[in-house]
Amino acid sequence: MPTSAQPLVELENVARYFDVSPPWLNRILERQRRQVLKAVDGVSFSVAKGETLGLVGESGCGKSTVARLIVGLYRPTRGEIRFAGRRIDAAGPDPAVRRAMQMIFQDPYASLNPRWRVADIVAEPIRAHGLARSSRDINARVGSLLEQVGLASADGAKYPHQFSGGQRQRISIARALATQPAFLICDEPTSALDVSVQAQVLNLMRRLQRELGLSYLFISHNLAVVHHVADRVGAMYLGRIVELAPVNVLFTSPQHPYTRMLLAAVPDLTRTGMPRTAVAGEVPNPLDPPKGCAFHPRCPYADERCRREVPRLKHVAGDADVTVACHAVEEGRLAQEAFTAA
pLDDT of the chain, 342 residues: tens digit per residue: 554 567 999 999 999 999 988 888 888 888 888 889 999 999 999 999 999 999 999 888 999 999 999 998 899 999 999 999 889 887 666 778 889 999 998 888 888 999 999 999 999 999 999 998 899 999 999 999 999 999 999 999 999 999 998 999 999 999 999 999 999 999 988 887 888 888 888 999 999 999 999 999 999 988 888 998 999 999 999 999 999 999 999 999 999 999 998 888 777 666 566 666 556 677 888 888 899 999 999 998 899 999 999 999 999 877 778 999 999 999 888 765 445 444
Q: What is the CA radius of gyration of the chain?
A: 22
Residue 48 CA: distances (Å) to CA of 3, 161, 182, 231, 334: 8, 37, 11, 10, 31
Write phi, then psi, for 320 (nearest 5 degrees): -70, -15
* Homologous superfamily assigned to 1-100+185-191+206-230: P-loop containing nucleotide triphosphate hydrolases (3.40.50.300)
Q: Are strands 240-246 and 232-237 parallel, antiparallel or unpaired?
A: antiparallel
The burial class, CB within 10 Å (0-12 / 13-18 / 19+), for 165 is middle
| In contact, 313 and 323? CB cutoff 8 Å | yes
What is the per-residue pLDDT for 12? Answer: 95
DSSP 309: S
pLDDT at residue number 337: 43
Helix (H, G, I), strand (E, B) or coil at 205: helix
β pairing state of 52-56 and 232-237 = parallel
Residue 181 CB partners (closer than 8 Å, separation 6+) = 99, 100, 101, 102, 214
User: Measured between alpha carbons, how far is residue 83 from residues 13, 72, 101, 125 in Å?
Assistant: 15, 12, 9, 20
Residue 199 has a pLDDT of: 87
Q: What is the largest CA-CA distance in the chain?
A: 68
Ranges of each domain in the chain: 1-100+185-191+206-230, 108-180, 250-342
Q: What is the pTM of this model?
A: 0.89
- H runs (alpha helix) in the chain: 24-30, 63-71, 95-99, 118-128, 135-148, 165-177, 195-212, 223-229, 247-252, 257-264, 304-308, 327-330
Identify residue 69 by its one-letter amino acid code. Answer: L
